[in-house]
Amino acid sequence: MATVNSRRKVGIGLLGSGVVGEAIQDILFHDLKGQVGSDVELELRKIYTRSPQGKKWFGKRKALFTSRPEEVLDHPGVDIVIEALGFQAAKQLPQFRDYILRAFRNGKSVVTSDKAVLARYGKEIWSAAKSSGQQLRFEACVGGGIPVIRSLSESFAVEQPEAVFGIVNGTCNYILSQMEKSGKPYAEALAEAQQKGYAETNPASDVNGSDAEAKLLLLSMVAFGLQIEPGKIWRKGIEEIQAVDFRYAQRIGASTIKQLAVARRRGAAVQVFVSPALVSGENFLAGVDGATNAICFAGTSSSGGRGGRDCDYVLVGPGAGGGPTAVAVLGDVCELARGTRKFSGLPSLVPPGTLKLQREDEIDVPFYVRFVVKDRAGIVGDIGKTFGRMGVNISEIWQLRHVEDELRGLMQSYKLKQKSGDVLPFVMTLERTTLRQMRRALDSIRNRDYILVEPVWFPIWSSN
């Protein structure tokens, strides 16, 4: 057995000392004390942060901190650079990309938790890793502490991927869970998420779906070899969801509403989107509560496929937070330090270029549509005729009895001035139709004089 003195030391440079960066320091300085097995020792040799003073470990490890990133990137004793700067604004991404490229040029491998920079500049970064012969790891970019990237690229390597989908944003899942449990309006549920630290002061990237989009692009890359730029897929946020939608969801197959990130194969194309979705209570994802993430994988192996199951594997765990993310980062660091898994090219189950992205307008799913209209005769029939002209078939129509407080809460959310007795919410569920047909129908309906608020619509989840 190797002695302490015979352990091989691997130098680590850390960019960032925020929530994740500090958790990494806690583990290396306190929990692991740098030891990785019997033969490798990790040694944190430089930490970059804009304001070192006041950081947790600054008093005890002052010499390690710097306010100059080049002291990490150019440090001769650093073998692996951890990029954990934390995405705040799009204008930062080019600089974060440049840090990663500079590390490669200096002969250093990189571990990143920054999904946004990989989603935006992945093609360039992977090319640079390959040409420099350096390694890139990004387990912490998707699912926090859930080992989904490693599972896709290694454990499921013999599978022919059919779908990867699930709940990849804990903030949205927490908000929707609270709305369902307590009947709170969206604004109150969001405020609670912020108070408990599940949502940022500016929660836009979470609630509008862009965080989930960045994670989904990475999952699509690993599963299907797709290299998609942000903004090129269909994306809907959760901001329009109201408590009343959960009442209707409960009546429609005892369902609930979850924000889903979906990539599934359609012949030679892959259907990719992020949206809230109506999920049946019988589906595993319906029971995923709070800030938890759950990622499902479906494949067709040589043994014969799924046999009608929604998916083959489900990976569940904490999707965010300093501790779980730091564990995922250091898992990648340990792999690099031990040299157990080497690839500098794009890790993908399907060779890049084999499949293409399905056109957004061709996405075809069943839909949930909630209307709030003036309470008068003939409206349901008029909307039904409009859908019919667009080739859209109605499955069911739901009109629940709403108590006065519920109607007032809905009207307050939309700042409506009508009397509660003059306002009518109702829901239509639609058979499978394309986004193109759906948008054309709603373009025709939304300007009718009886429409009080923009119709709320999103997919009904189906595994096929």
Q: Convert the pLDDT of each residue in 360-416 to its tens digit.
A: 999 999 999 999 999 999 999 999 999 999 999 999 999 998 888 888 889 988 999
Q: Which of 82-86, 169-173, 260-264 has the highest mean pLDDT?
A: 260-264
The answer to whether 449 and 364 are in contact (CB under 8 A) is no
Q: Let me know if 403 is exposed, middle or buried by CB neighbors in 10 A (0-12, 13-18, 19+).
A: exposed
Mean pLDDT of the chain: 91
Q: What is the average per-residue pLDDT within 150-172?
A: 92
DSSP per-residue codes, 47-65: EE-S--TT-TTTTTSGGGE
Per-residue pLDDT at 6 exceeds 50: yes
Percent of the chain with pLDDT over 70: 94
Q: Which residues contact 360 (CB under 8 A, 6 or more apart)?
A: 233, 234, 273, 435
Token readout for 121 is: 């500049």
Spatial distance between the Cα atoms of 110 and 134, rounded to a whole number of angstroms: 8
Per-residue pLDDT at 302 exceeds 50: no
**For position 144, what pLDDT does the model report?**
82
Please report which confidence band the pLDDT of residue 253 belongs to, taking 50, 70 and 90 as the band edges.
Answer: confident
CB count within 10 Å of CB 57 equals: 20
Q: Which residues contact 265 (CB under 8 A, 6 or more apart)?
A: 161, 162, 163, 224, 271, 355
Instruction: Give per-residue pLDDT as tens, 32-87.
Output: 665 655 578 899 999 999 999 989 999 999 999 999 999 999 999 999 999 999 87
Rounded to the nearest angstrom, the gap between the alpha carbon of residue 448 and the centroid of all alpha carbons in its chain is 36
Catalytic annotation, pick one of 55, 215, 236, 258: 215
Please report which confidence band the pLDDT of residue 161 belongs to, taking 50, 70 and 90 as the band edges.
Answer: very high
Please report which confidence band the pLDDT of residue 31 belongs to, taking 50, 70 and 90 as the band edges.
Answer: low
Per-residue pLDDT at 341 exceeds 80: no
Percent of the chain with pLDDT over 90: 74
CB count within 10 Å of CB 91 equals: 7
Per-residue pLDDT at 182 exceeds 80: yes
DSSP per-residue codes, 151-214: IIIIITTTSEEEEEEEE--HHHHHHHHHHHHH---HHHHHHHHHHTTSS-SS-HHHHTSHHHHH
Spatial distance between the Cα atoms of 448 and 383, rounded to a whole number of angstroms: 10
Per-residue pLDDT at 344 exceeds 80: no
DSSP state of 76: T
CB count within 10 Å of CB 414 equals: 14
HSE-up (13 A, CA, CB side) for residue 253: 16
421: three-class secondary structure by DSSP: helix
Q: Which residues contact 142 (CB under 8 A, 6 or more apart)?
A: 115, 148, 149, 168, 215, 218, 219, 295
**For position 382, what pLDDT does the model report?**
97
**Residue 14 β-bridge partners:** 47, 82
Residue type for 454, please?
E
Distances (CA, A) of 397 to 165, 327, 383: 29, 48, 11
Per-residue pLDDT at 249 exceeds 80: yes
**For position 1, what pLDDT does the model report?**
44
In 3D, which of 191, 292, 177, 293 has the Cα closest to residue 246? Answer: 177
**For position 197, what pLDDT does the model report?**
79
Please report which confidence band the pLDDT of residue 319 belongs to, taking 50, 70 and 90 as the band edges.
Answer: confident
19: enclosing H helix or E strand: helix 19-26
Identify whether 385 is a catalytic site residue: no
The pTM of this model reads 0.92
Q: Which residues contact 53 (CB under 8 A, 6 or more apart)?
A: none
Q: Which domains are delineated in the chain?
A: 4-137 (3.40.50.720), 148-320+351-357 (3.30.360.10), 361-459 (3.30.70.260)
426: three-class secondary structure by DSSP: strand
